[in-house]
């Protein structure tokens, strides 16, 4: 198995360019199944989740071409398959977005239950609630979900989500795009990639309003045409590099970002002692003095992202005083990576949904294991800031969501390499 070997202690200095957003890409690419003709998607991140998803789509009959790096052209005209390869589907969580796309285009879907990171119980009950409201019959087993029209047929509906689920908002939005009538999603998720998906669909001819608010309205259309669309920059990748320089010290320019999306992260890093200068499409982050304690509670956007929780914890582990980190989205997300950080010398106590992090002078190198994508990124940050050598195992989790992590960190002065057994 591949692993990362990190010799810590170097401050990060230089410029890093952020790739396209993973969470947007894995929603937009399945939505291309709705398009009649060819669509061109730009700024596509080269990460394993996207590669798996493209393999799934190609296996279903989507014609793919790659005219240049980070650009994919998709032609779904000839697709007839409504049961994507279950072995590939099980490799990634976001493959459940195929359900909404297939239901919207064909009225039927048979999709294996997805895989991906297992850091918490993440049921899809809100997705199913949405499909039922749209007029689908749902057959759910431990292995798959099958969707077909009910006797009354598929149609628009008013759907009030019990929680602001990103996945359910995506699936309902995509499924409703080609259905007759109007669909209204209340208590919708407001994350940037929800807005990006709506913008993609609207570029192709959909009629969606309210994305980015808690009420999204979809007026069904007969068809979508082809077009060109560029995916937004990755908020979490940018935040990860910002957290990394906050932990190690140094001075980096984070390019290709939307600063508005970063405000929830920027504010907390500034509280901890980082200096941040915001430009039109880049952010400079510097840290030379000691880190200060802070309090963070994860929340849906525009709150502090749950996907930045683990990275923030590393910064807290190196800060003076006791920091408080509360997880309100996925309650068991602390388990696993906190133990790994403790093996590196961190002082963390878990109390229900809250981690109390007593800062230490320095972390030390160790062999640690990534338990999920963002936890793996946090362990890389810990290794960069630690004294000695850190080995991060199970890095396939990390490579699900970070493009060219080794190359980007090396360019910033990190001593990190990828080793194959």
Cβ neighbours, 10 Å, residue 190: 20
Q: Annotated active-site positions, please?
A: 117
Dihedral, 161, 165, 171, 173 alpha carbons, nearest 10 = 60
HEC readout, the chain: CCEEEEECCCCEEEEEECCECHHHHHHHHHHHHHECCEEEEECCCCCHHHHHHHHHHHHCCCEEECCCCCEEEEECCCCCCCCCCHHHHCCCHHHHHHHHHHHHHHCCEEEECCCCCCCCCCCCHHHHHHHHHCCEEEEECCCEEEEEECCCCCCCCEEECCCCCHHHHHHHHHHHCCCCCEEEEECCCCCHHHHHHHHHHHHCCCEEECECECEEEEECCCCECCEEEECCECHHHHHHHHHHHHHHCEEEEEECCCHHHHHHHHHHHHHHCCEEEECCCEEEEEECCCCECCEEEECCCCCECHHHHHHHHHHHHCCECEEEEECCCCCCCCCCHHHHHHHCCCEEEEECCEEEEECCCCCECCEEECCCHHHHHHHHHHHHHCECEEEEECCCCHHHCCCCHHHHHHHCCCEEEEECC
């Amino acid at each position: 198995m591949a692993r990362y070997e990190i010799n810590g202690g170097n401050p990060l200095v230089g410029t890093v360019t952020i790739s396209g957003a993973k969470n947007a890409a894995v929603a937009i690419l399945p939505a291309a199944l709705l398009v009649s003709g060819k669509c061109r998607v730009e700024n596509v991140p080269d990460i394993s989740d996207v590669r798996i998803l493209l393999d799934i789509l190609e296996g279903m009959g989507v014609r793919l071409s790659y005219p240049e790096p980070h650009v994919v052209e998709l032609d779904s005209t000839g697709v007839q398959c409504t049961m994507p390869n279950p072995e590939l589907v099980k490799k990634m969580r976001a493959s459940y977005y195929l359900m909404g796309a297939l239901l919207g285009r064909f009225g039927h879907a048979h999709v294996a239950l997805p895989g991906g990171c297992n850091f918490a119980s993440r049921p899809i009950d809100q997705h199913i609630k949405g499909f039922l409201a749209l007029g689908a019959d749902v057959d759910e087993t431990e292995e798959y979900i099958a969707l077909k029209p009910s006797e009354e047929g598929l149609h628009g509906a008013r759907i009030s989500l019990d929680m602001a689920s990103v996945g359910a908002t995506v699936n309902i939005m995509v499924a409703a795009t080609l259905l007759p009538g109007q669909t209204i999603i209340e208590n919708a998720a407001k994350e940037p990639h929800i807005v990006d998906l709506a913008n993609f669909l609207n570029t192709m001819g959909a009629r969606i309003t309210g994305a980015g608010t808690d009420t999204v309205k979809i007026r069904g259309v007969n068809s979508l045409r082809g077009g060109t669309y560029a995916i937004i920059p990755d908020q979490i990748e940018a935040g990860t590099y910002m957290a990394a320089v906050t932990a190690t010290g140094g001075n980096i320019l984070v390019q290709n970002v939307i600063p508005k999306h970063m405000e929830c992260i920027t504010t907390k890093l500034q509280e901890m002692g980082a200096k941040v200068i915001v430009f039109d499409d880049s952010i400079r982050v510097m840290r030379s003095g000691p880190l200060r304690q802070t309090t963070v509670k994860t929340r849906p956007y525009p709150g502090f992202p749950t996907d930045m929780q683990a990275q923030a914890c590393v910064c807290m582990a190196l800060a003076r005083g006791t920091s408080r980190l509360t997880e309100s989205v996925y309650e068991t997300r602390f388990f696993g990576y906190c133990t790994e950080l403790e093996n590196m010398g961190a002082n963390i106590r878990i109390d229900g949904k809250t981690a109390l992090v007593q800062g230490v002078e320095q972390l030390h190198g160790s062999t640690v294991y990534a338990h999920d994508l963002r936890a793996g990124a946090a362990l890389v940050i810990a290794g960069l800031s630690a004294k000695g050598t850190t080995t991060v195992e199970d890095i396939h989790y990390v490579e699900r969501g970070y493009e060219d992590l080794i190359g980007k960190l090396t360019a910033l002065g990190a001593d990190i390499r990828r080793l194959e057994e």
